[in-house]
Chain A
Amino acid sequence: MKLRLSMRVNGNAVELEIEPHRTLLEVLRNDLGLAGVREGCSTGDCGACTVLVNGKPLVSCLMLAPDAEGASIVTIEGLAKDGKLDPMQEAFVAKGAIQCGFCTPGMILAAKTEDIPEGNLCRCTGYTKIQEAIREERRTTRPQA
């Protein structure tokens, strides 16, 4: 049986009918076409599917879609404003912290609230540049910290 799901995704109200055994990851990727939400391990270990749910980074592969009822979701597609990348995205580009790009969306979203993401794997093992990018972003946008 299908359920009605209402949530905000990247600032837009979204309403759709879903089967209850779908994960938030599947709904974002397949129903809403947000391919920046990556499916890696699908068991919560790799962090590639990280999205912000009510401001907090969560792994969307372990969240049942009906559980997102009423929530406000931000994916990597929602970070740029007026055609300008978010400072964290800029820092990743500037520091070359993107290799294959698979872990990048989750890494950037986790870095919005964490010092250095602890729950995100980079299979290219490009961690040094990722750390440099995050430190650079902190230094330029939050000089007081």
Chain B
Amino acid sequence: MRAFAYEEPRTLAEAGALMARPGRNQLLAGGTDLLVRLKRREWTVDTVINLKRIAGLRGVEARGDHVFVGPLTTLDELAASELVAKRWPILVETVHEMGSPQVRAMSTAGGNLCNASPAADLAPPLLCLDATMKVWGLRGERHVPLREFFLGPGKTALEPGEILTEIRIPPALAKGCFIKFCTRRAMDLAFVSVACAAVGKDVRLALGAVAPTPIRVLPSVEEAMKRCAPIDDVRASAEYRREMVRVLVRRALARVAS
């Protein structure tokens, strides 16, 4: 990696001030994406701002009308949370499809979402759970529904200087499934991913890796086929992905209905 300056702010205000300085400033959470990009020289940065010394950005807990998931919660902590396991087994199932145990112990929930990969595994189930992103900035706090958070590959609704401080999930229990379609059982990216969850009688469906962002779609095969717009790449052809959307959505809907 090329040399960079390094900062460990203790508060959001300190982090905000650091991000406002000139130069290319990059936030560090788990580092499992950032370090790979820096090593490959896909990104160059002047300053890395490590968020891990800021209190209150990690952990899972019930708070009034929602469940708080700190963005710095690691994937293995998310899956080990009893609260999550009881309400949303779909999230536990999803985490177990991600990376490897070593990577899950480092990668964070917030990092997975803020990288805005079209194939981000946490996105489809959290879209089904109607998650909201609480965002802090020097001009104040705001809430962004996850459905409006992803703007394109690598692009989110975060403005320069804003920091994700909370992933809020409405507390309703959900029964669901996450299907990640890929060639290997660990350390792989999805060709297509499908999350389907029933919250009460409300069936919800979301897709990953088949559009510029993860997308929530109406729960039917026809709607999924209409909305998906996959590309050809090294992993699979667009045509094959479309066919897999048809198969996997049918399968996911059947699984949730049973």
Instruction: Give me the interface of A with B, judged by CB distance under 8 Å.
Output: 1, 3, 19-21, 23, 42-45, 47, 50, 56-59, 61-64, 66-67, 110, 113-114, 117-120
7 sample A-B contacts, Cβ–Cβ < 8 Å, listed by A number: A21-B6, A44-B35, A47-B100, A58-B105, A63-B31, A67-B28, A119-B99
Is B1 in contact with A57, judged by CB distance below 8 angstroms?
A: no
Q: Can you name the residue of chain B whose Cβ is closest to the Cβ of A20?
A: B6
Smallest distance from the beta carbon of B97 to chain A beta carbons, Å? 11
Is A67 in contact with B187, judged by CB distance below 8 angstroms?
A: no
Interface presence of B8 (CB below 8 A): yes
Interface presence of B52 (CB below 8 A): yes
Query: What is the CA–CA distance of A37 and B36 in the complex, to the nearest angstrom?
Result: 18
Smallest distance from the beta carbon of B103 to chain A beta carbons, Å? 6
Contacts of B103 in A (CB 8 A): 44, 59, 62, 119
Q: Can you name the residue of chain B whose Cβ is closest to the Cβ of A59?
A: B102
Contacts of A118 in B (CB 8 A): 100-101, 185-186
Query: What is the CA–CA distance of A134 and B89 in the complex, to the nearest angstrom?
Result: 29
Majority-rule SS of B interface residues: loop
Is B2 in contact with A21, judged by CB distance below 8 angstroms?
A: yes
Contacts of A50 in B (CB 8 A): 102
Known contacts A20-B6, A64-B35: does B101 contact A119 (CB below 8 Å)?
yes
Is A67 in contact with B50, judged by CB distance below 8 angstroms?
A: yes
Contacts of A23 in B (CB 8 A): 1, 35
Smallest distance from the beta carbon of B102 to chain A beta carbons, Å? 5
Is A62 in contact with B31, judged by CB distance below 8 angstroms?
A: yes
- 5 further A-B pairs in the complex, CB-CB below 8 A; given A21-B3, A43-B40: A43-B39, A44-B36, A59-B102, A117-B101, A120-B100
Is B36 in contact with A62, judged by CB distance below 8 angstroms?
A: yes
Which 6 residue pairs across A and B have the least CB separation, nearest first? A119-B100, A20-B6, A118-B186, A59-B102, A62-B35, A119-B102
Interface presence of B5 (CB below 8 A): yes
